[in-house]
């Protein structure tokens, strides 16, 4: 993850992030389904990376997918990087913050909107700023 603009040492990440955020963003963890604070959150605003605060998603990109994690049909252009993930005996596409490399979740080609994609994101990797 050294090719990212926003860099911190492992110790600095530990100091900045909660244990759950660190496990998700820096160790590619996931939260249990239906437990994340943004799963059923539909306020008007922007979702940012909890690690570096880069804007990732607009609230109009979010939809209810009933999968148990916040779902978006797209990201703000240039903010999310896709990486082939062959872990756990599966072939998936991991999504990470393009600024700091923080793990966000995975993207799937089963979305119900025009994009046909579902960005399945951990709430612990996000922060939210409301727009009035």
d(CA 72, CA 113): 10
Q: What is the mean pLDDT of each run of 10 residues along the chain (132 residues)?
A: 85 97 97 97 98 98 96 98 93 97 97 96 98 88
Domain ranges of the chain: 10-130
* pLDDT score for 1: 45
User: What is the reported pLDDT for 132?
Assistant: 82
What is the bridge-based pairing of β-strands 92-97 and 80-85? antiparallel
User: Looking at residue 2, what is its pLDDT?
Assistant: 62
> What is the three-state SS of 25-85?
HCCCCCCCCCCCCCCCCCCCEEEEECCCCCEEEEHHHEECCCCCCCEECCCCCCCEEEEEE
Active site residues: 120
Domain covering 10-130, topology = 2.170.150
Q: Are 81 and 57 in contact (CB under 8 A)?
A: no
pLDDT for 3 equals 85
Collapsing DSSP to helix, strand or coil, 87 comes out as: helix
DSSP track, 94-111:
EEEETTT--EEEEEES--
Identify the pLDDT of residue 6. Answer: 94
Considering the entire predicted model, what is its pTM? 0.95
- What would the two tokens of residue 19 be? 């244990």
Torsion of CA 33, 9, 82, 36, to 10 degrees: 20
Query: 55-58 and 92-97 as β-strands: parallel, antiparallel, unpaired?
Result: unpaired
């Amino acid at each position: 993850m050294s090719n990212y603009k926003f860099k911190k040492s492992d110790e600095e990440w530990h100091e900045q992030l909660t244990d759950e955020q660190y496990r998700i963003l820096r160790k590619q963890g996931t939260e249990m389904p239906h437990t994340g604070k943004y799963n059923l959150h539909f306020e008007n605003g922007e979702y940012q990376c909890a690690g570096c605060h880069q804007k990732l998603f607009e609230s109009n990109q979010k939809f209810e997918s009933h999968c148990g994690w916040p779902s978006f049909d797209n990201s703000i252009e240039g903010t999310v990087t896709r990486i082939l993930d062959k872990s756990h005996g599966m072939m998936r596409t991991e999504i990470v913050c393009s600024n700091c490399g923080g793990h966000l979740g995975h993207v799937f080609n089963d979305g119900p909107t025009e994009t046909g994609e579902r960005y399945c994101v951990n709430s612990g990797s996000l922060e939210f700023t409301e727009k009035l």
